[in-house]
Amino acid sequence: MTTRRTGGRGAARAIATALMCVLAALPARSAAPGRPAAPEGAAAPAASPGHYVGTFNIYGNIGHRGDAGDWIRDEAEAVRELVPGGMDRWLFIGLQEVCRAQGERFARELGLRSAFVDTGTDCADGQPYGNALLFHSAPRILPPALLPNPDGRGGERGVICAVVRAPGGEGRSGPSVTACSTHLSVGRTKDGERRAQTRFLRDGWRPDGVRALGADGPVVLAGDLNALPGAPELDVLYEDGREADGPRGSGPPYARPTYDDGRKLDYLFTWGARSPGSWHGTGVRRTVHSDHGFYYSRLSPGTG
């Protein structure tokens, strides 16, 4: 399903596209060479409660110029091997700096579905550019939005959200979370713009025209926020949100580096009604394919 929305700030600037791709699940894989398979009838180790969430700026346009080649296969394989239990342990993954075919291939390699927001910029090869969400099941894709851009310069930024369920929770009664992927403006002079963007995400945006994100259940925001943990533009997110590295001032690793130069720029925040949950086992996986690491954590809903 694809929808194109123009208006608000004007058709000349605002183009937002949501794309949902229904993809076949990957077949089960055999044990890796040299690794013995578990004997038949052996009891599996008890899994920790909750599911994993990840965020990854894939450097898709500047770094890969839209290429959706085998580097994505390699990244997907690394994600599958990142935590015990494979993709059944994942709730969703947010991608930023994505050319549309890259998000589609990433989802396909992981056996997931995807949704995409087109922020109105073309990749080097002409593809739409924006953010993506990868997930198992989504009863609803929310209308995408462009973030505030007061001076109209530096390119548009967007957010894509979906109400997602973990594997095994596809039925209407299964627990759901509103999952979002976003990418804030970059630059030392853009702190005021980023502040407007975080306030929009936390309090100003009404995806259904009535309620803010989190008003009717937990939200998880995954993204490259282009700001350090102590930056004032993140105040509104830290005030009553829980970040995967911990609260401000809690000491290492609340400022865990996610960018090549040693800064933390990538975040996983949760907030909202009915107890948003708590984070466990946070980590960063480094990669040669991006200037950002793959930042991830396990979310235990309703336990915090």
Query: What does the pLDDT read at residue 155?
Result: 83
The SS3 assignment for 297 reads strand
Nearest CA to 263 among 186, 200, 190? 186
Range from 128-137, 160-169, 218-227 carrying the lowest mean pLDDT: 160-169
The SS3 assignment for 161 reads strand
The SS3 assignment for 189 reads helix
The SS3 assignment for 135 reads strand
The tens digit of pLDDT for each residue in 64-111 reads 999 999 999 999 999 999 999 999 999 999 999 999 999 999 999 999
Contact between 303 and 277 (Cβ < 8 Å)? yes
How wide is the angle at C-alpha 82 spanned by C-alphas 32 and 176, nearest 5°? 120
Sign, CA torsion 12/195/258/76: negative
Query: What does the pLDDT read at residue 199?
Result: 97
| CATH number of the structural domain 50-300 | 3.60.10.10
Of all residues in the chain, the percent with pLDDT exceeding 70 is 81
Q: How confident is the model at residue 270 (pLDDT cuts 50, 70, 90)?
A: very high
d(CA 15, CA 205): 17
Using the predicted structure, report yes or no on whether residue 249 has a pLDDT greater than 50: yes
Query: What does the pLDDT read at residue 47?
Result: 59
The structural domains of the chain, with segments of one domain joined by +, span: 50-300
Nearest CA to 262 among 228, 223, 222? 228
Query: What does the pLDDT read at residue 250?
Result: 87
Length of the chain: 304
Q: And the tokens for 263?
A: 């800064």
Query: What does the pLDDT read at residue 151?
Result: 82
Helix (H) or strand (E) holding 274: none
